[in-house]
Amino acid sequence: MVHLLTKWLIGALAVLGAAYFIPGIAVASFYTALIVAVLWGVVNIIVKPILVILTLPITILTLGLFTLVINAFLFWFLGTIVKGFSVDGFIAAFLGALFVSVVSFVGNKILVRND
């Protein structure tokens, strides 16, 4: 349980970091970042695999790089449904999704190494 809460906190801090470092992304509060982190995880578990399968030909042609575009659109989508979280444009969404993914990945790898 503590492991899951720590992953959630890492995700929320990654969202706050994206809002701090990337222009065009705004987060109203830490509470909003926690909500975005939960929804980011749910979207990545449920919606992203469906989109990857539907766009499989283009994903194969781009050697998997199209998944970055899918991540950007999903991040942008979260900006439209979460009150207090906004993403202004595709470039901000692309950079924000990349930032959140990399920070979460590194944070979770450090967490696993310390267990």
Q: pLDDT band at 115, cuts 50/70/90? A: low
The amino acid occupying position 44 is: N
Q: What is the CA radius of gyration of the chain?
A: 14
pLDDT, tens digit, for every residue of 11-69?
A: 999 999 999 999 999 999 999 999 999 999 999 999 999 999 999 999 999 999 999 99
Round to whole Å and give the CA distance between 73 and 70: 5
φ, ψ (nearest 5 deg) of residue 82: -100, 120
Per-residue confidence (pLDDT) for residue 108, from 0 to 100 = 87
Round to whole Å and give the CA distance between 40 and 22: 18
Q: Which residue has the tokens 């701090």?
A: 20
Q: pLDDT band at 113, cuts 50/70/90? A: confident
